[in-house]
Amino acid sequence: MPSPIISRDPKTLAADPSFLGYVCQFIDPPKSSGLLPTPDWIPPDGSRLHPAFPTRKFTTFAQPDRTPITRHFETVKKTMPDGQDVEFWGFFDPKIPGNSYKFPSDEIRLVEGQIFHGLLGGIKKKAHTIHWHGIEPTSQNDGVGKLSMEVGGEYIYQWLASAAGTYFYHCHRNTLLHFEFGMYGMLLIDPLPPPRKDPAIPFPPYPAGGPGYVRRANTVVKYDKEAVWVLDDVDPLWHLLDHDAAMSSCDNLNLDANGNPVGVNFTSGGGLNVFNPAYFCISGVPHPWTRNLPTDPVNPGVAVQVKAGKTLLIRLLCGAYSLNKCVMEGLNAEVIAMDGRVLGQPPFTKYSRPFTISAGVPFNLTAARRFDLLISPTAAQIGTHRFVVEFQHHVTRQVMGIAETFVNVVP
Ligand SMILES: [Cu+2]
């Protein structure tokens, strides 16, 4: 029997007795309250709610009260395979004892239907934001610099995790540069398990690396192993630039041909049009260390091991500025979601459905694209299968470098 359809519409979700999440209603605090005018602002004590829109109390599945996620800003120097040190910037969870920023930023994992509270803080100078790429919050909570506030102190972003899928978060101030510096991390939203779930799989959010459940068309399917691979190219010269280098400024003085303000003005001298990456990474690991297993004692890599007969979910994100030509050798991969959206999910079955990329057939990803791939290797496929990415110049298509890793199918 197929699993029930779980709608993404918050109103339907709230009415569905099988849905265990809580749904936020938008409220608008009165201007006289002195509160931030965010339409979806939720008072910490649950008071001051608009009487017409009673907001159910936020909760998580594991804890009786809301659990805000905190991200602080930090910089780190990372030694690359050629011995050069490169500075990276990013976010980390300061609530984990002894934790610090490692490129890329700490993963965030939620459950479909949860209300998310993300506190951005620890910014000592200048400003940053967090944009929740693929999520659809109000403008105030979208973290896009210039369109909403840039955070110099502290801000709590709030939104509803309405659709399970693969997303990422990143700074959106002087975006091109700050993203290159490493100011991004994965943002994963898990679906609830099917009614008859495998008792061996914990309740969501599922553990990083698997096992868990993922949406596939109209159902929720199990995976045994999970790999999250973020493709990224690093130009070390960009990592010597200043916070505001080449940043456009607001400009209401210069007018365009129609007499409207041009809005942006590249005042800092020089743009970020020259990009010559020297390092090619998967999930922060530069090639060739990418080839190693994560358990490698010297240079942990991103290769993944899966048993024949089991299912591997690969969440692939292009965090690069070059065009990424990807090839999975020896294994077919079914694309079940793109850009955080499930393929073939009603009522959109007319427009999309999961499809298979045959072993060895290349596919291209460009900046910010995400593919969720399901791979089910058979006993006949026991062995080592190469996954290789060519980083092609965004204009000339010249291959600037590669990153390579493996799927090891074991008995
Ligand atoms: Cu930033």
Instruction: Give residues whose Cβ lies within 5 Å of ion ligand 1.
Output: 128, 171, 173, 178, 183
Compute the distance from residue 264 Cα to the ligand 1 centre, in Å.
Answer: 18
Compute the distance from residue 283 Cα to the ligand 1 centre, in Å.
Answer: 19
pLDDT > 90 in the chain, percent: 55
By the 8 A CB rule, do 50 and 24 touch?
A: no
Compute the distance from residue 321 Cα to the ligand 1 centre, in Å.
Answer: 17
Task: Give the mean pLDDT of 149-160.
Answer: 78
Smallest CA-to-CA distance from 80 within 344, 288, 258 is with 288
- pTM exceeds 0.85: no
Cα Rg of the chain, angstroms: 22
| Rounded distance between C-alpha atoms, residue 407 and residue 309, angstroms | 14
- The reported pLDDT for the residue numbered 255 is 64
Compute the distance from residue 159 Cα to the ligand 1 centre, in Å.
Answer: 21
Q: Which pLDDT band, with edges at 50, 70 and 90, does 244 fall under?
A: confident
Domains, the chain, in order of start with CATH, read 10-194 (2.60.40.420), 221-235+277-410 (2.60.40.420)
Compute the distance from residue 220 Cα to the ligand 1 centre, in Å.
Answer: 36
Compute the distance from residue 9 Cα to the ligand 1 centre, in Å.
Answer: 32
- The reported pLDDT for the residue numbered 16 is 46
| Rounded distance between C-alpha atoms, residue 352 and residue 364, angstroms | 18
Backbone angles phi, psi at 85, to 5 degrees: -95, 135
| Rounded distance between C-alpha atoms, residue 223 and residue 220, angstroms | 10
Compute the distance from residue 129 Cα to the ligand 1 centre, in Å.
Answer: 6
pLDDT digit string (tens) for 33-89? Answer: 443 333 344 444 443 333 333 333 333 333 333 446 788 889 999 999 999 999 999
| Rounded distance between C-alpha atoms, residue 238 and residue 267, angstroms | 18
Compute the distance from residue 372 Cα to the ligand 1 centre, in Å.
Answer: 27
Q: Which pLDDT band, with edges at 50, 70 and 90, does 163 fall under?
A: confident
Compute the distance from residue 144 Cα to the ligand 1 centre, in Å.
Answer: 11
pLDDT digit string (tens) for 299-320? Answer: 999 999 999 999 999 999 999 9
Q: Which pLDDT band, with edges at 50, 70 and 90, does 249 fall under?
A: low
